[in-house]
Chains A and B, each alone.
Chain A
Amino acid sequence: DTEVTQTPKHLVMGMTNKKSLKCEQHMGHRAMYWYKQKAKKPPELMFVYSYEKLSINESVPSRFSPECPNSSLLNLHLHALQPEDSALYLCASSQAGVGGGETQYFGPGTRLLVL
C-alpha cells in the first residue's frame, strides 16, 4: 500500500469557522509533511513531523495548527483563516531515513476555499 489519503477532498469554510484536515498513511513512514499550493505556484512546505515530533515550521501563521497523534496520522487544524489561505493543501510522507532525502509520497490534496 503506497497510498496517502486525505480528507476531505474539498472544504468551504467561513473566516470564523474551525475545521481540520486529515491525512493518513499505512506505509510505516515516520516523516509526514504539509504543503500549501496556490494556483500557478509550486507547492510550499509548511510543516514537517519526524517521529511524531514537529521538526520544521516554515514560519506558518498560528491560525494553522498541525498535530501528529500517531505515526500514521497527520492533522491540520484551521481556525480564523483568511480568504488568502484558500489553496490546495497537500500531505506527504517519507521513510524518514538518514537526512530525509528519500521519496516523498503525496496525497491528492484538500482544496480549501475560505469565504
Chain B
Amino acid sequence: ILNVEQSPQSLHVQEGDSTNFTCSFPSSNFYALHWYRWETAKSPEALFVMTLNGDEKKKGRISATLNTKEGYSYLYIKGSQPEDSATYLCAFMRGSNYKLTFGKGTLLTVNP
C-alpha cells in the first residue's frame, strides 16, 4: 500500500498572503509526482508533473519543488487570491505503469 500524505488538510488565509502545502510520498522507485487543483463542481486541473529530483516548476503565482530522495514536494502560492480557493491534490506514480496514487488533498480557502 502506497501512502501519499498531504498537509495541512485545510488552510484559511487572507487575500494577499503567501502559503505552502506539503506532499509526502514513498521515496523508492519514484517515477513522477503530479499536482492538481480541484474546484468544487469542476474537473481537476493539472498544475505540474515533476519527474527529476530538485525540479522546480512555476505557473504564474504557483510554484512547486520536488525532493525525491527524501520523498516530499512543496506547493507554494504567492499573494493568494480568492480564486485560488480549491482543493490541491498531489499524486505519486511509482514506476512507469500509468497508476497515480492520490493524497487526500489540502483544501485552501482564501478570504477577501
B99 near A102: Cβ-Cβ < 8 Å:
no
Interface size class of A (residues with CB under 8 A): 20 to 34
CB < 8 Å: which of B97, B98, B102 contacts A42? B102
The smallest beta-carbon distance between A7 and chain B, in angstroms, is 14
B49 near A101: Cβ-Cβ < 8 Å:
yes
B46 near A101: Cβ-Cβ < 8 Å:
no
CB < 8 Å: which of B43, B49, B101, B102 contacts A102? B49
Q: Pick the interface stretch among A14-22, A63-71, A79-87, A106-114.
A: A106-114
Chain B interface, number of residues (Cβ within 8 angstroms): 26
How far is it, in angstroms, between the C-alpha of A101 and the C-alpha of B43 when the chains are bound? 19
The smallest beta-carbon distance between B82 and chain A, in angstroms, is 21
Residues of B with C-beta under 8 A to A4:
43
The smallest beta-carbon distance between B54 and chain A, in angstroms, is 17
Shortest beta-carbon contacts, A-B, top 5? A99-B96, A100-B98, A42-B102, A101-B32, A106-B44
Which chain A residues have a beta carbon within 8 Å of chain B's beta carbons? 4, 31, 33, 40-45, 48, 50, 55-56, 58, 90, 94, 98-109
Additional A-B contact list (12), CB under 8 Å, known A42-B104, A104-B34: A33-B98, A42-B4, A55-B98, A56-B99, A99-B96, A99-B98, A100-B93, A101-B49, A103-B34, A104-B46, A106-B43, A106-B44
